[in-house]
Amino acid sequence: MVVLDKVLQKKHLSNIQELVLKLCWKGYTYAEIAENSGYDDDYIRDVGFRLWQTLSKALGENIAKSNVKTVLRRYYSNLAPAESQLSTTTAFQIPSSQQQQDWGEAIDVSMFYGRTVEQALLRQWIVDEKCRLVMLLGMGGIGKTALSVKVAEQLQSQFDFVIWRSIRNRPPIVDLMRELILFFSQQTEANCPETIDGQISCLIKYLRSQRCLILLDNIESILQSGETAGHYCAGYEGYGQLLRRVGDEVHQSCLVFTSRETPSGFTAREGETLPVRSLQLTGLSQVESQQILATKGLVDSTVECDKLIQRYTGNPLALKIVATAIQCLFDGNISQFLQQSPVVFGDLWEILEQQFHRLSANEKQVMYSLAVKQDWVTLKELQQYLIPQISERELLEALLSLQRRSLIEQQSGNYTQQTVVMEYVTDKLMGQVCSKIPVGEIQ
């Protein structure tokens, strides 16, 4: 309500609007609200529709039932400390009325831990060094999306426009470009060009004349699977053109994107003194991981808990999944879980399946060999393990590609996998071996 008073200023919500907002906030459906309040279903829907319109207008961004909580929470955290009673948000500013923001389906990051080094580095790149293109890279669940939203929230006052979009549903590039151009022109660009090149030129015109922050999440969705990492799917090459030109051409804006894999053409462009940078995310620290476990009610600081965090290398999604399993299936007993449970299951298995299915035949071979070896190996050792053998060039290409997909670890010429990945690949390998043994042969 503090936020609403602030954004609606003299206007007040009617009693029914307030009721709809409160119950939507608690996760009720329109039908449930209607049932609770004795009003007609359609009437409540209509109240909701008008309410989101009023709030969208007042806040200058699209608000719907699905994102109202996230948006209002964000505004709350951006209010001055005296108003929000939060002393930790002093660095933020209330967006001025000139600022335009569209957060799309950005996730709620009010419970966000750590990543202080990454946040400082991104601020340095984006604000101080005026980088034009920044990539956040890392394996599934490591926290790319969460960090992208957090950083955008923190840096919003530095930009005239902020827009956050997920590419997970693979929108055609022309649709995305039209949306960006209309947003940055405040719906005034009447002659949106037809060609990709023309659209990108038009976009860059706006990126030059004003400070715009664009965040694109899940770029890996438009990269091909079954090939060396980084090639665009047929029909989506325009995204490559967009990233290349935003990185290469002079303007005063920044495009940040997240991906599980590095898109091709990126490596040659990025560099410490260039306006194109990439940040590889690794797991959270012990303390931050404990905070994640605590959000699921698992409060523990024993050696067992440390083992659990190490096993999942501080991957926040993995920690959330296992904390829930430990609570529900093991009455919160971590050591029982560690002794009895498979390392990879549920959503975590799903994510690794998705990542594994994208690999080329050579990459899969390398993954199996690394899992069999269970330890650091050199290039030469690895080559001996591979059946069928592949050339040194092919092996190098596969290793490079796996690194760009964040699936292997590299240290001075030695390679291995993270525990979770290794367990997953071992399970897969065992599954393949078992399926090849005729029924009845295992006694």
**Interacting residue ranges for ligand ATP, rule: CB under 6 A:** 107, 111-115, 138, 140-146, 218, 258, 260, 284, 292, 316-317, 320, 351
289 binds, among Mg ion, ligand ATP, none (CB under 5 to 8 A by kind): none
Closer of 156 and 166 to ligand ATP (Cβ):
166
Choices 143-151, 240-248, 278-286, 364-372; region in contact with Mg ion by CB under 5 A: 143-151
Q: Is there a contact between 131 and 272 (Cβ–Cβ < 8 Å)?
A: no
Three-state SS string over 307-334 comes to HHHHHCCCCHHHHHHHHHHHHHHHCCCH
Closer of 144 and 231 to ligand ATP (Cβ):
144
Q: Is there a contact between 233 and 222 (Cβ–Cβ < 8 Å)?
A: yes
String marking each residue 174-203 x if it binds Mg ion according to CB under 5 A:
------------------------------
Could you tell me where the beta strands, DSSP code E, fall in 88-230?
100-102, 133-137, 161-166, 212-217
C-alpha span between 398 and 200 (Å, rounded) = 33
Closer of 27 and 388 to ligand ATP (Cβ):
27
Closer of 34 and 216 to Mg ion (Cβ):
216
Closer of 219 and 334 to Mg ion (Cβ):
219
Closer of 247 and 283 to ligand ATP (Cβ):
283
Q: Work out whether the CA dihedral 225, 230, 231, 235 comes out positive or negative.
A: positive
Closer of 354 and 384 to Mg ion (Cβ):
354
Closer of 184 and 257 to ligand ATP (Cβ):
257
437 binds, among ligand ATP, Mg ion, none (CB under 5 to 8 A by kind): none
422 binds, among Mg ion, ligand ATP, none (CB under 5 to 8 A by kind): none
Give which of 266, 328, 336, 327 is closest to 299, Cα–Cα. Answer: 327
Token digits of residue 298 = 């698992």
Three-state SS string over 346-415 comes to HHHHHHHHHHHHCCCHHHHHHHHHHHHHCCCEEHHHHHHHCCCCCCHHHHHHHHHHHHHCCCCEEECCEE
Q: What is the DSSP string of 55-112?
A: HHHHHTS---TTTHHHHHHHHHHHS-HHHHT-GGGTT--PPPTT-EEE-TTPPP-SS-
CB neighbourhood size of 309 (10 A): 24
Nearest residue to Mg ion, by Cβ distance, number only: 145
Q: CB of residue 109 vs ligand ATP: minimum separation in angstroms?
A: 7
Q: Number of H helices and number of E strands within the chain?
A: 20, 9
C-alpha span between 443 and 441 (Å, rounded) = 6
Q: Is there a contact between 34 and 44 (Cβ–Cβ < 8 Å)?
A: yes
Lay out the sheet containing 161-166: strands in order across. Answer: 100-102, 161-166, 212-217, 254-259, 133-137, 276-280
Q: CB of residue 102 vs Mg ion: minimum separation in angstroms?
A: 18
Q: CB of residue 436 vs ligand ATP: minimum separation in angstroms?
A: 32
51 binds, among ligand ATP, Mg ion, none (CB under 5 to 8 A by kind): none
Q: CB of residue 217 vs Mg ion: minimum separation in angstroms?
A: 6
Closer of 292 and 367 to ligand ATP (Cβ):
292
String marking each residue 92-131 x if it binds Mg ion according to CB under 5 A:
----------------------------------------
Q: CB of residue 223 vs ligand ATP: minimum separation in angstroms?
A: 13
Nearest residue to ligand ATP, by Cβ distance, number only: 143
317 binds, among Mg ion, ligand ATP, none (CB under 5 to 8 A by kind): ligand ATP
For residue 11, the Cα-to-chain-centroid distance in whole angstroms is 36
Closer of 160 and 261 to ligand ATP (Cβ):
261
146 binds, among ligand ATP, Mg ion, none (CB under 5 to 8 A by kind): ligand ATP
C-alpha span between 215 and 103 (Å, rounded) = 9
The residue count of the chain comes to 443
Among 145, 154, 259, 416, binds Mg ion (CB under 5 A): 145
Q: CB of residue 11 vs Mg ion: minimum separation in angstroms?
A: 36
Q: CB of residue 84 vs ligand ATP: minimum separation in angstroms?
A: 20
Binding site for Mg ion (CB under 5 A): 145
